Every structure is written in C-alpha cells, then in structure tokens.
C-alpha cells in the first residue's frame, strides 16, 4: 500500500519549535517532489514548503520564510519540516503530499487536483500558551 505518514505534531507554546516528519511507505520517496501543506478551519489550505527529489528546488510560503526549513533524507524515505518561532497562526493540520517527478525544475505550493499523487492523513499542530 502506497502511503505517506506524518508525525511530530503536538501542542507547543508560542515561540517554540517542532519538527514534522513525512515517511513514505510502499514506494521510494527519492524521485518524488514533496510538499507540506497546512489546513486551518478559518484559513483553508495553505502550502508551506516543497522540495524536489534532489533537493535542488525548494519553495516556501511567505509566512514560512525564515522560520521553516524543509529537508529530506531519501535513504530513509523521509521528508522533514522544521518549524521555529511558532505562533498561534501556525495552528492547523499539517500534511505532506508527493508527486513522481524525478527531473523536477519546479515544485508547487498549490495542492490542486492532480498536482500531487499521494497525501498523508496529517498531524495536528497547536500553538497555544
């Protein structure tokens, strides 16, 4: 079964940090571009960061620049999202999505229909004092 499994979410105080992990199961994540997305009840879905298979293409949402870092370890079939200086606005369900694209020259922060093939169930991040 092909799937992505996220972990690392939780409750953190404002200013704190979390590292999210996205592990691919049933396929090798290496040739896939992977994005991290956030869904919040009043804000909808927002793409936070994406990374190509060789890590040579990386994009961040403006709200993530300077605070979040996306990285990957293809040997472990895992993509990470390090989140620092968290605020209440970062609260939401974070999920990862992947698309097969071994020669990617671009990665999208829009998870529109057909752009990404696999999605995880997400992990809840709550930033609150």
On whether the CB atoms of residues 84 and 14 are closer than 8 A, the answer is no
Span 81-126, pLDDT tens digits:
999 999 999 999 999 999 999 999 999 999 987 799 999 999 999 9
Span 55-72, pLDDT tens digits:
999 999 999 999 999 999
DSSP 79-96: EEEEE-S--GGG-EEEEE
101: CB partners within 8 A, 6+ apart: 31, 32, 33, 52, 53
- Coil/strand/helix, residue 70: strand
């Amino acid at each position: 079964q092909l799937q992505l499994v996220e972990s690392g979410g939780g409750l953190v105080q404002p200013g704190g940090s979390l590292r999210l992990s996205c592990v691919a199961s049933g396929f090798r994540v290496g040739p896939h571009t992977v994005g991290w997305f956030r869904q919040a009840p009043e804000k909808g879905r927002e793409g936070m960061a994406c990374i190509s298979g060789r890590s040579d293409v990386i994009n961040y949402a403006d709200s993530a620049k300077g605070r979040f870092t996306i990285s990957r370890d293809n040997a472990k079939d895992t993509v990470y999202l390090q989140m620092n200086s968290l605020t209440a606005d970062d609260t939401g369900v974070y999920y990862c999505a992947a698309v097969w694209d071994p020669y990617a020259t671009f990665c999208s922060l829009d998870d529109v229909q057909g752009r990404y093939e696999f999605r995880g169930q997400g992990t809840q991040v709550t930033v609150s004092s």
